[in-house]
Amino acid sequence: MTRRRRLFPPGAKVGLTTTIPVEVVLAAGLVPMDLNNLFIAGPAPLARVAEAEAAGFPRTICAWVKGIYAVLKQHPDMAGVIVACQGDCSYTQALGEILEARGVEVIHFQFPYPRNRTLLGEEIRALMARLGASPAEVRRVQSELEPLRHDLRRLDRLTYETLQVRGRENFQWLIAASDFEGDPVAYSRKLKDFLAAAARRSTFPARVRLGFAGIPPIFSNLWDYLEELGAAVVFHEMPRQFSMPHAGPDLVGQYLNYTYPYDVFGRLADLAEAVAVRRLDGLVHYTQSFCFRQMFDQLLRERLNIPILTIEGDRPTPLDSRTRLRLEAFVDVLRP
Amino acid sequence: MFYGRDVLRDGAKGNKPLPNRAGEGGAPGPLKGLGGGSGGRAGSLAPLPSPQHHSSPPTACGLDFGSRFVKLVYARGDGRWGRRKLDSLDFYRDCLLREGGRLAIDWPRLGLAPPRTLVATGYGKNLLKEHFPTITEVRASFLGARRLTGLSHFVLLEVGGQDTKVLYIRDGRVFDFLTNDRCAAGTGRYLENMARFLKMPLTEFAQAWEAPVDISHTCAIFGESELVGLLLEGVEPRRIAAGVNASVARRALLMTRRYPCPALVFVGGVAKNAAVVRLLEGESGLPVQVPPHPQFHGALGCCLEALKLAREGA
């Protein structure tokens, strides 16, 4: 048996700028840390954005990218960062180069565009080789994660079928599925306890069932405000995608079914299914200021037969008064 | 220009000047005829006649507290409808009673019996929301316009005293809406200010559509400076008025054009400006539908909601 050369020692923390095949990171014995989650769930995320701007990041770029940069500075123990330089956005690609210039060990990962099984397989094998993960270890991790991914699908069903899981909870559990908070075993245990408690709850009395399309909203009090209005959020497009709702025949299949890094048509099919299956009354299209994905708004409106409200967020703050008014009016016209 | 169903029509033909109390009349039956009402006059309320005791007092009332006018639509038990329009400041000063932290409407002063249910909306909604059920302006506009037009697929353009809204209605549902609620540019306030500046009565101003000059600023405050320049160049005031009306139409169309729908319904106080309607039709190439009493659709929406509440409570 040949001994694999490892880039990082086992147990080292590796930052992620977006969801990538985390099974490979875990199979290499490393601790994945999604920098988006560290940023938004950490103390004072708004201060992180200001720090990045003070360091020279322009006002007119995505706040998530600035948050990732600043939060990384707060975690000097991060051994390296995996950057998706295709399938995410050009801001992240530039961020990767800035990090390299600052001496950070950057590992590139490319989701092929257009979606391509062969190329994705090669890319995953390259990542395995770089991190030192064997195919057998990756297969083992994937099968060990399967019960956990199954529980995440159950969590999602308790959100839209029985309304026992609230919108905020659905969002937080699903976005955390990109790195399992660095510890899949502990995360899985916590999730089982949560599901057992949620299954005993009563149904949320929703007047309106909403879905969210787009990247994770950056607003801090979105769900509480919508619940005040009597609206339940029973679908989060991207956070659900991060949890890998469609298990593939193998790891490559699983990440081919993942919609986020590929063309908008896969997203549209996923959204249309959610509209029907989850009996949505309306869809809120969350767009991030300065993000190229804002351009897809027109296609969502053309292709999806459902009322759509588009909102835009910039920084990690509570909802501004204009967005509150728009959400209030949207819920008000959707209710019976 | 096509005028939709006259759900709120007066008993007599045309929109007659209205007495300052609830009038009677209108064809009987559900949602037919809306007696009394508004007309051009919305002056001071004092002195008011003694309360009128109708055989059928209002069962439900919708109140749209706009930035310039308060509009009321009420439904009577006998199937008749009534409407009223009052200056917002007069209403605020003369018709709201403050009793020990409570806010109430002085119905006798309005010459109306208190309705069983009241639903409010509009600019002044926040003042009332602790005391009465309220709905958003978007819902009120949607419910009222859908009822007034009988349409289920249309673009609703509403230009009021201080804001502009566009609703895209498909399958009888609101699919999207846009608002410019931060700025009075291109609204009724802008038109009023520009008419005053040109010393032209609003009725004359609202007929000016021919040979419009090009006007680029629709700011309610700073629009005057552009008009000064045009006057000094010797441009006829009527052409300037037409230019102002055209700028309002162009600005509104920027908001409506994103929706793929040939039916454009125009409401709000500015829909009474025939020149803007004509210019909207010219610029868009589409027929513009203005329902009768285009200022009352929001109050009608509230009244329909109040009737629903009454049914649910019954």
In a domain, B233, yes or no: yes
Alpha carbon distance, N-terminus to C-terminus of chain B: 41
Both B99 and B169 in one domain: the answer is no
- pTM for the structure as a whole: 0.88
In a domain, B174, yes or no: yes
Distance between A15 CA and the closest CA of chain B, angstroms = 39
Task: Judge: A322–B142 Cβ closer than 8 Å, yes or no.
Answer: no
Q: At what angle do helices A90-101 and A63-73 cross, to 10 degrees?
A: 20
CA-based torsion, A19, A221, A278, B142: positive or negative: negative
Task: Judge: B176–A307 Cβ closer than 8 Å, yes or no.
Answer: yes
In a domain, B42, yes or no: yes
Q: What is the ipTM of this complex?
A: 0.86
CA-angle at B311, arms to B309 and B313, nearest 5°:
65
Both B260 and B224 in one domain: the answer is yes
Both B276 and B192 in one domain: the answer is yes
Contacts of B137 in chain A (CB under 8 A): 329
Dihedrals phi, psi of A89, to nearest 5 degrees: -160, 165
The CA R_g of chain B, rounded to the nearest whole Å, is: 19
Nearest residue on chain A to B308, alpha-carbon basis = A336
Pairing of strands B164-170, A78-86: unpaired
Dihedrals phi, psi of B144, to nearest 5 degrees: -70, -45
Both B114 and B216 in one domain: the answer is no
Both B77 and B149 in one domain: the answer is no
Structure tokens at B220: 């309610």
**Which of A8, A15, A2, A32 is closest to A183 using CA atoms?**
A32
Both B301 and B281 in one domain: the answer is no
Both B162 and B277 in one domain: the answer is yes
Distance between B140 CA and the closest CA of chain A, angstroms = 9
CB pairs under 8 A between A and B: 40
**Which of A323, A89, A290 is closest to A219 using CA atoms?**
A323
Residue B20: per-residue pLDDT: 35
Residue B314: per-residue pLDDT: 64
CB nearest to B138's CB, from A301, A322, A329: A329
How big is chain A, counted in residues? 336
CB nearest to A307's CB, from B135, B136, B173: B173
| Cβ count within 10 A of residue A297 | 16
CA dist B131 and B102 (Å) reads: 7
What is residue A32's three-state secondary structure? strand
CA atoms within 13 A on the CB side of B263: 16
Q: What string of pLDDT tens digits covers the 336 residues of chain A?
A: 455 678 899 999 999 999 999 999 999 999 999 999 999 999 999 999 999 999 999 999 999 999 999 999 999 999 999 999 999 999 999 999 999 999 999 999 999 999 999 999 999 999 999 999 999 999 999 999 999 999 999 999 999 999 999 999 999 999 999 999 999 999 999 999 999 999 999 999 999 999 999 999 999 999 999 999 999 999 999 999 999 999 878 999 999 999 999 999 999 999 999 999 999 999 999 999 999 999 999 999 999 999 999 999 999 999 999 999 999 999 999 999
Q: At what angle do helices A45-54 and A63-73 cross, to 10 degrees?
A: 90
CB nearest to B139's CB, from A301, A322, A333: A333
Output the CA–CA distances (angstroms, integers) from residue B43 to B12, B17, B88, in the order listed.
22, 12, 10
Distance between A329 CA and the closest CA of chain B, angstroms = 6
- Domain(s) labelled CATH 3.40.50.11900 in chain A stretch across 147-334
DSSP 8-class letter at A231:
E
Nearest residue on chain B to A310, alpha-carbon basis = B176
**Chain centre distance of CA A251:** 18
- Given a contact cutoff of 8 angstroms between Cβ atoms, the answer to whether B180 and B159 are in contact is no
CA dist B277 and B204 (Å) reads: 14
Task: Judge: A333–B137 Cβ closer than 8 Å, yes or no.
Answer: no
CA dist A240 and A156 (Å) reads: 8
Both B98 and B224 in one domain: the answer is no
Range of B169's domain? 142-289
Contacts of A307 in chain B (CB under 8 A): 173-176
**Which of B114, B7, B119 is closest to B52 using CA atoms?**
B114
CATH number for B181: 3.30.420.40
In a domain, B4, yes or no: no
Task: Judge: B139–A332 Cβ closer than 8 Å, yes or no.
Answer: yes
Output the CA–CA distances (angstroms, integers) from residue A297 to A226, A288, A311, B48, B250, in the order listed.
22, 12, 10, 54, 24
- B179 part of contact set with chain A, CB < 8 Å: yes
Task: Judge: A329–B136 Cβ closer than 8 Å, yes or no.
Answer: yes
Could you tell me where the DSSP H helices lie in A258-296?
Answer: 264-277
Both B78 and B154 in one domain: the answer is no
CA dist B24 and B36 (Å) reads: 6
Both B158 and B277 in one domain: the answer is yes
Nearest residue on chain A to B169, alpha-carbon basis = A307
- Domain(s) labelled CATH 3.40.50.11890 in chain A stretch across 13-136
Both B47 and B72 in one domain: the answer is yes
**Chain centre distance of CA A125:** 23
CA dist B302 and A193 (Å) reads: 47
**Number of domains into which chain B is organized:** 2
Residue B76: per-residue pLDDT: 86
Q: Choosing among A228, A310, A333, which should be mutated to test the B contact, i.e. which has the most B CBs within 10 A?
A: A333
Task: Judge: A326–B179 Cβ closer than 8 Å, yes or no.
Answer: yes
Q: What string of pLDDT tens digits covers the 314 residues of chain B?
A: 444 455 554 433 333 333 333 333 332 233 334 444 433 333 333 333 333 445 566 789 999 999 889 999 999 888 889 999 999 999 999 999 988 888 889 999 998 889 999 999 998 888 888 888 999 999 999 999 999 999 999 999 999 988 899 999 999 999 999 988 667 788 998 999 999 999 999 999 999 999 999 988 777 777 888 899 999 999 999 999 999 999 999 999 999 998 988 899 999 999 999 999 999 999 999 999 999 999 999 999 999 999 999 988 86
Q: Residue B173 forms beta bridges with which residues?
A: B170
Domain A13-136 has CATH 1.10.10.60: no
Contacts of B182 in chain A (CB under 8 A): 322
**At which residue do the structure tokens 């309705």 appear?**
B115
Contacts of A301 in chain B (CB under 8 A): 175-176
Task: Judge: A333–B182 Cβ closer than 8 Å, yes or no.
Answer: no
Distance between A295 CA and the closest CA of chain B, angstroms = 14
Residue B4: per-residue pLDDT: 47
In a domain, B14, yes or no: no
**At which residue do the structure tokens 């998706």 appear?**
A84
Both B284 and B305 in one domain: the answer is no
Chain A contacts in chain B segment 235-294 (CB below 8 A): none
Fold of the domain spanning A147-334: Rossmann fold (3.40.50)
